[in-house]
Structure 1
Amino acid sequence: MENKVALVTGGSRGIGRKTALRLAKAGYDLVINYARNEKAAMAVKEEIEQMGRRALTVKANIGETEKIREMFRAVDEFFGRLDVLVNNAASGVLRPAMELKENHWDWTMNINSKGMLFCSLEAAKRMEKNGGGKIVSVTSIGSIRYLDNYTLIGASKAAVESLTRYLAVELAPKNIAVNAVSGGAVDTDALKHFPNREALLEDARNRTPAGRMVEADDIVNVIMFLLSDEASMIRGQTIVVDGGRSLLI
């Protein structure tokens, strides 16, 4: 793992934070991208450095392609390489379809879909120089089934899963593996923005066949597997981690 570098977008909290810390524990140096909360990002950086790894924090709204390019230039200057990208950052407007406006579409799609694509393309340029790499994106079951107020985010996550398939084929000759992880309801800070949060949590507690809610570590476990050599023949797949909840009507 000498000098290998991983970039986690939205790496200051929730699943992104746990992924960054797990990668550091596995021996990676880290780039922590964040949009607003510098204090949280610096706290993750400190935890990573306490493990003896190097860490760089980069503030960037990945919905803007110029900010993405600036972020990758910072990675070049600080580390000079990139081996892993975890597209975790997400945002979006939670409203019924009839209440949506054009700017809601732009905001959600830019961060969740456009950001994933152009972060992946910039990452691939660096990975190719190192002989290959791994890209994993975080999506959700709202991409394939209906969730209240989730119209725009669901569509953006469906785009992420489609892009995962296309990028997996086009980047395979560069020895870059591309996959995604789709999670069920996880009680993180992001879920606090859902107007129907309590109903989602109750559903997850009572109707998940596995007998419990999905936890952030369940998602991170699969991310880490897809980043490992053992998963080298898994390409363009979206692995659902929801304890079987999406199997029920």
Structure 2
Amino acid sequence: MTNKVALITGSSRGIGKQTAIRLAKAGYDIVINYARSKSAALEVVEEIESLGRKALLIKANVGDVKKIKAMFETIDETFGRLDILVNNAASGVQKPIVELEENHWDWTMGINGKGALFCAKEAAKLMEKSGGGQIVNISSLGSIRYLENYTAVGVSKAALEALTRYLAVEFAPMNIRVNAVSGGAVDTDALKHFPNREELLKEAAASTPAGRMVEIDDMVNTIMFLLSEDASMIRGQTIIVDGGISLLV
């Protein structure tokens, strides 16, 4: 019997890492994708293999379509199928609008928008061969509200949420479900790149109606729900996991 396979982009740390581990515990073989930190990615591979699951490690910058195609060719050669794609990899330049350059914009949109599109396109080819699958895209609150220095990333995440809706409709005949999860401030390694990180964390801790900040497990729990059959009629939606902070004016 062929085990089901899940690819989580940007899975060497943070939300991607924990999603990969949870899916391995659920019985999936895992494709770990990373762009820079090989040592961290290898640690995730070891943890997945300790759970008795197979782990395939692939270095690929998802902003490069050629590398995306090569990654999916490797997945096809190794496993011959793909059942889950979590588009978690993200990057971006965080500067005020007046300081943004063309290359900042292109880099951010290339990874967060274009990368997700072409990963989904290649994933759908493999999913269709085995009868369908699920795709979850990871967004953030900057897609719907203003965050300081977040223009390029926020707009790219808004594009990702729009892409989620289009993918959900066009992939439905292939039995592929597509949704997104948008998170409030989560204290991951990615947040360390925010110039105003401490201010964001302080505001989130003090202002979140739920009484605490969002944690990685809150995000992973929602991802796992959307990947389950319990969510089979949820299509093209962005589920916001923020403890209610986006409801405040």
- TM-score over 0.5 for the alignment? yes
Q: CA deviation at 1:78?
A: 1.1
Which residue identity does 1:40 align to in structure 2? Answer: A
Residue 149 of structure 1 pairs with residue 116 of structure 2: no
Find the counterpart in structure 1 of residue 101 from structure 2.
101
Residue 7 (structure 1) shift? 0.1
**Alpha-carbon deviation of 1:143?**
0.1
1:194 aligned to 2:194? yes
Unaligned runs of 5+ in 2: none
Q: Distance in 1 between matches of 2:2 and 2:27?
A: 8
Who is 1:131 aligned against? 131
Question: For 1:235, what is the secondary structure of its paired residue?
Answer: coil
Amino acid at match of 2:122: E
* Paired position in structure 1 for 2:41: 41
CA deviation profile, 1:8-54 (whole Å, cap 9, x unmatched): 00000000000000000000000000001111111000000000000
User: In terms of mean alpha carbon deviation, does 72-81 or 231-240 score higher?
Assistant: 72-81
Shift of 1:77: 1.3
What is the identity, as a one-letter code, of the residue corresponding to 2:214? V
The answer (yes or no) to whether the contact 1:168–1:177 under 8 Å persists in 2 is: yes
Could you say which residue in structure 1 is the equivalent of 2:78? 78
What one-letter code is carried by the residue in structure 1 that aligns with 2:85?
Answer: L
What residue identity is the alignment partner of 1:51? Answer: L
The secondary structure found in structure 2 opposite 1:105 is helix
Q: Could you tell me the TM-score, scaled by structure 2's length?
A: 0.99
Within 2, Cα distance between the matches of 1:216 and 1:94?
22
* CA deviation string 1:142-163 (max 9, x = no partner): 0000000000000000000000
| Residue aligned with 2:31, SS | strand
Structure 1 residues 1-249: aligned runs within 5 Å: 3-249=3-249
Report if the CA contact (8 A) 1:2-1:27 is conserved: no
Shift of 1:2: 5.2
What percentage of aligned pairs have identical amino acids?
Answer: 72
> Do 1:143 and 1:158's aligned partners in 2 also have CA atoms closer than 8 Å?
yes
Distance 1:80 1:175 in 2: 18
Alignment partner of 1:186: what SS? coil
Conserved? CA contact 1:182–1:238, under 8 Å:
yes
How far apart, CA to CA, are the structure 2 residues paired with 1:12 and 1:22? 14
Superposed CA offset, 1:74-99 (max 9, x none): 10111111000000000000000000
Aligned residues between the structures: 249
Q: Secondary structure at the match of 1:234?
A: coil
SS at match of 1:46: helix
Unaligned stretches of 5+ residues in structure 1: none
SS at match of 2:243: coil
3-state DSSP class of the match of 1:3? Answer: coil
Q: CA deviation at 1:199?
A: 0.6
CA deviation profile, 1:191-231 (whole Å, cap 9, x unmatched): 00000001100010000000000000000000000000110
User: Could you tell me how far apart the structure 1 residues matched to 2:82 and 2:211 are?
Assistant: 39
3-state SS, counterpart of residue 40 of structure 1: helix
In the TM superposition, structure 1's runs of 4+ consecutive aligned residues that sit over 3 Å from their partners are none
**Cα separation, 2, equivalents of 1:17 and 1:93:** 23
